[in-house]
């Protein structure tokens, strides 16, 4: 079983420049994280966008959707900015015969204290175990995007009640 990881940017891959409180999307971090973890599953990473999720628009979401639909792999993880990952997940609903898990990070992978390694670990495990569909993997949980929100005040994702 092969897992395709599509990198779209977001905090997961950000590089911060303290002097100017500026950031850029750097090279994707999934490969070094998974290599450091010494994973034994087959994976491939492809960078398709390098954008903060605040900057993603419907055209970008269509690029992501088409890439997922056209990729021969049926197990896909997408690294994505957390602010609009639910919107992108909703755009992917209806894609058949694929398991799609979207994940991200509240702190960049390049920072010492980051949730990125944990989140990519949860996402890559989830994509191997879940039935076909679209899911969000954040905060150690798997969410249905149709009933999920980002609680900005608590820096976490939650299921709507």
85-to-13, 39, 82, 157 alpha-carbon distances in Å: 15, 25, 5, 11
Q: Could you tell me the pLDDT band of residue 53, with boundaries at 50, 70 and 90?
A: confident
pLDDT digits (tens, 9 = 90+) for 151-161: 999 989 999 97
Report CA 22 to chain centroid distance, whole Å.
22
Q: What pLDDT does residue 114 have? A: 76
Q: Which segment of 33-37, 42-46, 91-95, 157-161 scores lowest on mean pLDDT?
A: 33-37
Query: Are 18 and 56 a contacting pair, CB within 8 Å?
Result: no
The rounded distance, in Å, linking the Cα atoms of 95 and 44 is 20
pTM over 0.85: yes
Residue 5 bridge partners (DSSP): 45, 77
Q: What percent of the chain has pLDDT over 70?
A: 86
CATH architecture of 2-159: 3-Layer(aba) Sandwich (3.40)
pLDDT digits (tens, 9 = 90+) for 60-98: 999 999 999 999 999 999 999 888 999 999 999 999 999
With 70 as the cut, is the pLDDT of residue 4 above it?
yes
With 90 as the cut, is the pLDDT of residue 116 above it?
no
The pLDDT of 20-40, averaged and rounded, is 74
Q: What pLDDT does residue 13 have? A: 58
Domain map (residue ranges) of the chain: 2-159
Dihedral angle of Cα 67, 104, 138, 56, to the nearest 10 degrees = -60
Structure tokens at 134: 């679209």
Structure tokens at 109: 């992978």
Q: Could you tell me the pLDDT band of residue 54, with boundaries at 50, 70 and 90?
A: confident
Count, in order, helices (H) and strands (E) of the chain.
4, 10
Q: Could you tell me the pLDDT band of residue 21, with boundaries at 50, 70 and 90?
A: low
Mean pLDDT (the chain, rounded): 87
Q: ∠ CA(105), CA(54), CA(152), 5° rounding?
A: 55
């Amino acid at each position: 079983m092969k897992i395709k990881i599509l990198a779209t940017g977001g905090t997961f891959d950000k590089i911060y420049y303290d002097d100017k409180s500026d950031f850029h999307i750097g090279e994707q971090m999934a490969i070094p994280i998974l290599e450091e973890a010494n994973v034994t599953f087959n994976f491939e990473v492809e960078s398709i966008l390098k954008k903060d999720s605040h900057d993603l628009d419907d055209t970008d979401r269509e690029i992501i959707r088409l890439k997922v639909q056209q990729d021969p792999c049926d197990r896909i993880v997408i690294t994505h900015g957390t602010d609009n990952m639910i919107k992108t997940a909703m755009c992917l609903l209806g894609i058949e015969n694929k398991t799609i898990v979207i994940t991200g990070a509240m702190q960049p992978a390049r920072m010492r204290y980051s949730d990125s390694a944990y989140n990519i670990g949860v996402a890559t495990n989830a994509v191997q175990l879940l039935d076909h569909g679209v899911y969000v993997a954040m905060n150690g949980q798997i969410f249905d995007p149709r009933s999920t929100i980002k609680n900005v005040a608590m820096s976490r994702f939650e299921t709507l009640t």
